[in-house]
Amino acid sequence: MNSHEENFAKALEWTEKLRGRYLHTLATFRIFERFKKRSAPNIVGRKKAEANARIFSQNIYFFAPLQEAARCYFFVELAKFFDPNPRKQSLTVDLLLDLVDKHLASFSKEKFLEYHSARHFIPELFEHYEAFSRADLQKIRQRLARNKRTIANLKNYRDQILVHADIKPTEVHITGPQIKVLLRIVKDTVDLFYKRLDFASNDYRNYDQEPVFAVDNVMKFLQEHEEERVRKIYTEYGH
């Protein structure tokens, strides 16, 4: 394997690893978000929100730690995508960008075909393939720069509160929309690299939608169980 193939293989391997981390981060975010929405009257309605709140309170020693674990895991994992990385020892979005930027000649259309020599591409489809350009990388870097303050706040929150217990942590404010912007940057980076390195796309439905369905199913089963419990009590003791 020559140096160009090594660079290409490394970029694809790193992209796959980032994608795996993103999928689990996304799923955890959807779980945490769904639990919050289940008890929000303006989203699910007053009656459903009250019924869900009763289920949560009846199982508080399960749901409270579960939601907190999901919240902490999500923020810690999200911060890892944007960590400062002076010694290049952590796999971050910026490190992946640097790899391609420093070895752009390894990612031409010609090098793509050499790396994927065992694959067959439909000519009509492959006409639409585009190799990496520095403009691709610059667009992502510009988005990182625009969100520099949010990324710094996320790092402080992770370092001082989530993984350490600083006595006087820096006060930070991170909003839901800001978090979704950072998630989108990671997703768009992964999608771009898969398109350029593998001429492929990603399907996120299992990690984006299935966790929501799972939370809803758990709540449905618990509510049905509670209704049956109340019915039995009424049947046995009611008049």
pLDDT in tens, 91-116: 999 999 999 999 999 999 999 999 99
Return the axis-axis angle of helices 60-80 and 46-58, rounded to nearest 10°: 100
Tabulate helix, strand, coil % of the chain (nearest 5): 75, 0, 25
CA–CA distances in Å: residue 239 to residues 70, 232, 236: 44, 13, 9
Calpha distance 149→82 (Å, rounded):
12
Q: What pLDDT band is residue 238 in, cutting at 50, 70 and 90?
A: low
Report whether pLDDT(80) > 80: yes
Contact indicator for 51, 114 with CB cutoff of 8 Å: no
DSSP 28-63: HHHHHHHHHHHT-HHHH-HHHHHHHHHHHHHTHHHH
Structure tokens at 171: 């006060």
CA–CA distances in Å: residue 76 to residues 100, 103, 166: 26, 30, 16
pLDDT in tens, 154-187: 999 999 999 999 999 988 889 999 999 999 999 9
Q: What pLDDT band is residue 79 in, cutting at 50, 70 and 90?
A: very high
Calpha distance 20→5 (Å, rounded):
23
- Percent of the chain scored above 90 by pLDDT? 85
Enter the pTM of the model.
0.93
145 Cβ contact partners less than 8 Å away, ≥ 6 residues apart: none
151 Cβ contact partners less than 8 Å away, ≥ 6 residues apart: 82, 144, 182
Question: Which of 209, 194, 239 lies closest to 17, judged by CA?
Answer: 194
Calpha distance 118→1 (Å, rounded):
15
DSSP code of residue 23 = H
Q: Pick the range with the lowest mean pLDDT from 20-24, 42-46, 66-70, 99-103.
A: 42-46
Average pLDDT over residues 20-48: 94
| Other beta carbons within 10 Å of 96 | 23
Contact indicator for 26, 180 with CB cutoff of 8 Å: no
Report whether pLDDT(151) > 60: yes
